[in-house]
Amino acid sequence: MLEKPDLDDRFLVSGLESAYGLRVAEVVFLPLGADVNTAVYRATSADGTAYFLKLIKGAFDEISVAVPRFLRAQGIQAIIAPFETADRLLWGRLGAYKMILYPFVQGRNGYEAPLSEEHWVTLGAALRGVHTAVAPPALASRIGRDCYSARWREAVRAFSIQVERDSFDDPVAAQLAAFVHSRRDEVGQMVGRAEHLGAMLQSRSLPFVLCHADMHPGNLLIADDGAVFIVDWDNPVFAPKERDLMAIGAGMGGAEPDSRAEGWFYQGYGQTEVDLMALAYYRYERIIQDLAAFCEQVLSCSEGGQDREMAVRYLTGQFLPGREVETAFRTDTVSVR
């Protein structure tokens, strides 16, 4: 969320003291992230310790905090676990919001800071740790399994019809609608190919592992001290490992696909056989999911200001040369050889 929610800072200070027993001297809103239902703050305690406060409005699944807590306990240092409340829960209530408190790590995300060789190796080792982690039955039973759902493809088909049929007075909505219309052939091809590949994957028996399921540069935190962290575990899922590996070398966020970086990553991850069909499917699905989510955000209402404008920039950027769309088509071409 880029725009500060209508919450009095004193309300946050009181909530933190009540839930965590934390005496807070200051809270500062941080304009970060594309999720309009999530606001984040830097909270500083009376003794000067900094904390990262996350507020979530609407749907919340406790698995999003339970999984990183479990992974950190397995010794994966690239995971930031949340603090417990005074009641030994991993989240607290703050009016209409759920609040989660983490250590504050000073740094930049993967869009802002290029990853070094050491970062890529560390990331590879961390993701291998995630993919080989064996969750206890009580936790595993609460984590969903990927079923190659048509949910996002159906949403994109509906939005594709909407931009052809409707007119939009709001300038941001009109801009997005015009762009989606101009790219209708590519969008239709991606939806069709994802549908086909998903059906083929359903008939196969690829191993399922624990996945982050939203790997992109914005969910990598490069700390000022050189550490790298995988953050925002909102939707972990059991899926083929390619669900996460699709982000490696995909040209995400404007970064040119870099074979050296890919090599460094797999130096840390270790030897593995990557299924190109699954890789192509998940690269298509990532774009399709973004397209559906951003269309919902921008076309459904005129509220949101900077968040809506950023959504348009994120989406249109994926169609630039060398970026996500081109990489997905290229992966698909290689997979059918």
Look-up of token digits 């899926």: 239
Q: Is the pLDDT of residue 5 over 90?
A: no
pLDDT at 252: 60
pLDDT confidence band for 222 (50 / 70 / 90)? very high
Look-up of token digits 């994926």: 318
Q: Distance between CA atoms of 294 and 36, rounded to whole angstroms?
A: 11
pLDDT at 300: 85
- Quote the DSSP letter at residue 88: S
pLDDT confidence band for 335 (50 / 70 / 90)? confident
The tens digit of pLDDT for each residue in 266-278 reads: 999 999 999 999 9
What is the residue-averaged pLDDT of the chain? Answer: 92
**Cβ neighbours of 303 (radius 10 Å):** 11
Q: Tokens representing 54?
A: 């996350």
pLDDT at 251: 63
User: E-strand spans in the chain?
Assistant: 24-30, 38-45, 50-57, 92-94, 97-103, 107-109, 144-145, 209-211, 220-223, 228-230, 237-239
Q: Tokens representing 10?
A: 């004193």
pLDDT at 248: 92
User: What is the model's pTM?
Assistant: 0.91
Q: Distance between CA atoms of 308 and 168, rounded to whole angstroms?
A: 14
Q: Is the pLDDT of residue 263 over 80?
A: yes
| DSSP for 1-61, written as a single string | --S--S--HHHHHHHHHHHH---EEEEEEE---S-TTEEEEEEEETTS-EEEEEEEES---
Domains along the sequence of the chain with CATH: 9-104 (3.30.200.20), 117-335 (1.10.510.10)
Question: How many CA atoms, within 13 angstroms, populate the side-chain half-sphere of residue 332?
Answer: 21
Of 24-38, 99-113, 229-243, 315-329, the least confident = 24-38
pLDDT at 27: 93
pLDDT at 58: 84
- Show Cβ contacts of residue 134 under 8 Å, excluding neighbours closer than 6 positions: none
> Which among 265, 258, 249 is positioned nearest to 78, based on CA atoms?
265
The tens digit of pLDDT for each residue in 181-197 reads: 999 999 999 999 999 99
- Under a CB-based contact definition with an 8 Å cutoff, are residues 50 and 40 in contact? no
The tens digit of pLDDT for each residue in 50-66 reads: 999 999 998 889 999 99
